[in-house]
Structure 1
Amino acid sequence: MRVVKGAVDRSLQAIELLAREARWMRMSDIAAELELEKGPAHRVLAQLCEQGWAEQDEQTSQYRLTLKLSLLGQRYLHGLGLPGLVQPILDEVAGQCHELVRLTVVNEGTLAWLAASQGAAPGLMYSPSMHSAIALHATSVGKAWLAAMSNDDAVAHALRGGLGKSNGPGTSKAITSVDQLIPELERTRQRGYGLVVEEAEPGVVALAVTVTSLTDGVVVGTISIAGPVLRIPGERYDAFHTLLKEASEKLGSVWPRASVGAHVHEAA
């Protein structure tokens, strides 16, 4: 039984690695990342190819995932009905604020992007990647989520997400220490929303609130509005906060009981 469990663990780790990288990878690099000898790594990859999870290029002998994982994830989400339930809510907010609206879900101790709606006109869009990692201490969604937990838990999550690292995520305006994080979490709690002004990206401001499932009271994600600083001055914050709160309540009322965290855009 121990051998079977180890094989499953290694296979899942390989799938997660290939999903994060989303590119062709050499077997030696995969083995190094998984801390495996080349022999065991080759067996894991061969099994994934045999089962249709991965494929190997005949010319370079490199590996990457097939679309099997993505397709299964999409089927699961559609089975839950979540995309169809949340998209109209995001579209409504985007139509009112005329900016980018995005939804995250809590997934494996962090946040991951799930859905978005673009309300800005063509040529004026702020359109970041939905596959990028979420720096909890440098994003509005991260601050909103961290503020919903105890300071001790928030600090632990933020440190794991890169807070305090010399090459950590965020701009020069981002929080860089626990001493800066704690007061910011208190300000977030007091005003009711997470706020970043050019902390995650230059020239970008974002506001976010948490989404709480009405079935069990658990924070399941966040909803945010983001756009250029020139289009979102401070006098618009209250109106955007109102839109986010109303949307959060709607999202919480339709959120399914089953978890959706395992089938979102990976934030790693």
Structure 2
Amino acid sequence: MKKATIEHKRPPYPIDSVDNALRILSILRDEGAVRITDVASKLDVAYSTAHRLMSMLMYRGFALQDDSRRYVAGPALGAPVIGSSWTQTLRELTRPSLELLCSRLEETVNLTVRVGIHARVLMTIEATSVLRIGDRAGSVLPAHTTAGGRALLAHVPLEQLERLYRGKGAELAGSYLPDKEFEELLVELERTRKRGYAICREEAQIGVAALAVPLSTPPGRSMATFSVSVPVARLEALYAPDKLGLIFHTQDEIVSILRSEAGGENGRSERSGR
């Protein structure tokens, strides 16, 4: 197997904004908590420039702001590679249905999978209305704070939830939830199972709410979900029977497509094995 090489030579046409964003990631990785003034000084850029760069990194989940207003590494910075062609197949199979749902609701729709304690947005179908939620594709967020993550965690056995959020590994990973927060999560997951969808109100992003439904995927594949993201003031409108009906119809349609694809794969495997 050919080894990958690291290119240390500076490119002939460097993009300074990209280089500065990457340098901030290195700072967060190596130094822990930092302030914008420190970042601006290290990069030798204006405070406003450093703030804009950090805001984009926060938007994509590569940085977070702690209680003392300092910036720390976000979940996307340490997230492992999924390493599966299934995610590309999933995007291709679900895109037509999600695009149609987006056009009918006139709201942004996200396709998400869960990897451990993280929810990863694989694809965003962005609405065209003026007041809309933007593209979050590639974002990595704490699963228990998002509608998509909750829709998936609702199908995780209690023992596994305890390992994810209460075990020694959770303490080391920084995902440990105290008694009250863990009990609140369990209550919310039970509500999610009963009504068939998960919701969040600004837990993941200020001013943003979402409603998500799970997608049953073939055995051995990452379970997925899609969510409708809206300005928080429009969340109640999603509960209208016609809009919920569209969401559940899309859910059934996609599950049927995924099952058909799985059946086709099984048939091809059986024929190739003869």
The question of a shared fold, defined as TM-score above 0.5 by the shorter chain, is answered with yes
> Counterparts in 2 of 1:135-174, with a 5 A limit?
135-158=142-165, 160=170, 163=175
The letter of the residue matching 2:137 is: M
Partner of 2:17: none
Q: CA offsets, 1:140-193, max 9 Å, x none?
A: 011111111222323433464855569xxxxxxxx9711211111111111111
Alpha-carbon distance, 1:136 to partner = 1.4
Higher RCO structure, 1 or 2 (CA under 8 Å, sep 6+):
1
Q: Using a 3 Å threshold, how does the CA distance of structure 1 residues 202 and 109 change in structure 2: closer, same or farther? A: closer
C-alpha contact (below 8 Å) 2:165/2:177 kept by paired residues: no
Partner of 2:244: 241
The letter of the residue matching 2:126 is: Q
C-alpha contact (below 8 Å) 1:137/1:158 kept by paired residues: no
Partner of 1:84: 92
Point out the more displaced range, 95-104 or 234-243.
234-243
Partner of 1:132: 139
Which segments of 5 or more consecutive residues in structure 1 lack a partner in the other structure? Answer: 12-21, 34-69, 167-174, 259-268
SS of equivalent residue, structure 1 residue 101:
strand
Q: Using a 3 Å threshold, how does the CA distance of structure 1 residues 100 and 29 change in structure 2: closer, same or farther? A: closer
SS of equivalent residue, structure 1 residue 115:
strand
Alpha-carbon distance, 1:210 to partner = 0.8
**1:190 partnered with 2:198:** no
TM-score (norm 1): 0.57
What is the percentage of aligned positions where both structures have the same residue?
A: 25
Q: Using a 3 Å threshold, how does the CA distance of structure 1 residues 216 and 237 change in structure 2: closer, same or farther? A: farther
**1:204 partnered with 2:204:** no
The letter of the residue matching 1:221 is: A
TM-score (norm 2): 0.56
C-alpha contact (below 8 Å) 1:223/1:244 kept by paired residues: no
Q: C-alpha separation between the residues in 1 aligned to 2:109 and 2:175?
A: 25
Q: C-alpha separation between the residues in 2 aligned to 1:197 and 1:234?
A: 13
Q: C-alpha separation between the residues in 2 aligned to 1:109 and 1:164?
A: 10
Q: C-alpha separation between the residues in 2 aligned to 1:102 and 1:30?
A: 28
Alpha-carbon distance, 1:114 to partner = 1.1
- Number of matched pairs: 192
Q: C-alpha separation between the residues in 2 aligned to 1:183 and 1:224?
A: 20
Q: C-alpha separation between the residues in 1 aligned to 2:197 and 2:152?
A: 9
The letter of the residue matching 2:226 is: I
Which segments of 5 or more consecutive residues in structure 2 lack a partner in the other structure? Answer: 7-20, 33-80, 266-274
Q: Using a 3 Å threshold, how does the CA distance of structure 1 residues 156 and 97 change in structure 2: closer, same or farther? A: farther
